[in-house]
Every structure is written in C-alpha cells, then in structure tokens.
Amino acid sequence: MDKEYFEFIKNAYSNGLCDEYRDEIRNCHEDREKLIKLALRQQSVPYIATKMREGIIHKDYLLKSYGEYLNGYVFDGADGLEGYKSSWYVDYDYANDLVVNVDVAHVSFTVGANVVVPKTKCPTIYISNRSKVHLIGDGYNSVRLYLFDVSEVTIEDIDEESIVNVYKYSNDCKVEKGKYCLGKVFEHKKELKL
C-alpha cells in the first residue's frame, strides 16, 4: 500500500465512512481495477470528487498509479448491474473528443474537452475538480449532469428533442448555453451529502 493510498484510507476511516464501504475498500486493497470500479459507483463519485478537491487524492497520483483504468477504460457493473457501463476521465487530452458511450462518466481535472453524447444515449455525467468542458449531444438525448466545486460546462449543441438536467453541488459552478443549445436545460441546486 503506497503512502497516498494509505492517507486516503486513514482519512476515510476517521471521517465516518460507513462499515459497508470500509469492508469493500479492504477487499480491494491489492486490486487497482476493483478500487477504481468502486470509486465509479454513483454513490461514491461525490465522495471521491470531494476528496480530490480537498487534496487527499491528487491528479498526478491517479494518473501514475491508476492510469491504465482511466481515460477510456470501460467498467461493467460498477453499480452492481451487469451491462451498466462506467468510465473515469482524469486530465483528459482535449485534442480528442470525449465520447460518452457509457451509462456513467466522471470527468475530473479536464479543461477544454468536448464531451460528446452519441445519438439516443442518456448518460449520467459527473464534472469535478475545476473541469471546464463543452457538452455536445448528437440528438434525442436525456443527460443528467452533476457539477462540483468551480467546474464549468458550456452546453454547445443540443437539439430541440433533447433534455439536460444539471444538478449543481456548488454555488460556484457555472452553466452556459451556446448558440446551438436548442433543447431544454434545467438547473437544480443539490446538497452535497457525504
């Protein structure tokens, strides 16, 4: 167990992590793939996003220690449902579009990327840790978008048959609508409960 992981575990155990998650983390200590899969559960993402913002988990550490399971790696069944796909993008190379072909995506420390939702896909997307991205839908989309900290999203191109529900965990995150945002965009405030 490396030092940064040990510090994360120590912090988690001393700050009210439930017994179920403690047991699951204990069962994953030696399996990096299982740890990232656990971090991608929808009930885990707000906790992980917060620990990154607090500096408990660092971007460089994630890329160095878990890089093979980030930026395009697809997990099946992270939330316990086979066929339900998840991916985590950290400091994604914005020279290429980030195409969300999964049910759940977490985008962290990413500035400038186009997050593209393919036609008829209805994903849940978490945007955290000072990310600034552009959302583009290819049509007939229903997107749930969760924004953390000071992250920003510009909804560039959404057709009129599409809906984007944005849940803001912070008063400092921003949502802008681009010229071709023709669909319905609803913004909601959400309380962060860890």
Nearest in space to 183 (alpha carbons), one of 139, 128, 120: 139
25 located within any domain: yes
What single-letter amino acid sits at 84? Answer: Y
Q: How confident is the model at residue 1, as a pLDDT?
A: 58
Q: How confident is the model at residue 8, as a pLDDT?
A: 77
Q: Which of 32-41, 94-103, 140-149 has the highest mean pLDDT?
A: 140-149
Whole-number mean pLDDT of the chain?
A: 92
Dihedral over alpha carbons 143, 72, 190, 152 (to 10 degrees): -90
Number of domain units in the chain: 1
* Residue 103 Rama label (left phi>0; alpha psi -120 to 50; beta): alpha
Q: Is the Cα dihedral 50, 53, 57, 62 positive or negative?
A: positive
175 located within any domain: yes
Query: What percent of the residues of the chain are helix, what percent strand, and what percent coil, each to the nearest 5?
Result: 25, 35, 40
Whole-number Cα distances in Å, 32 to 7, 67, 82, 90, 104: 16, 10, 20, 16, 19
194 located within any domain: no
What single-letter amino acid sits at 140? Answer: Y
Q: What is the mean pLDDT of residues 11-27?
A: 75
Tens of pLDDT along 173-194?
999 999 999 999 999 999 888 7
Domain that holds residue 175: 3-189
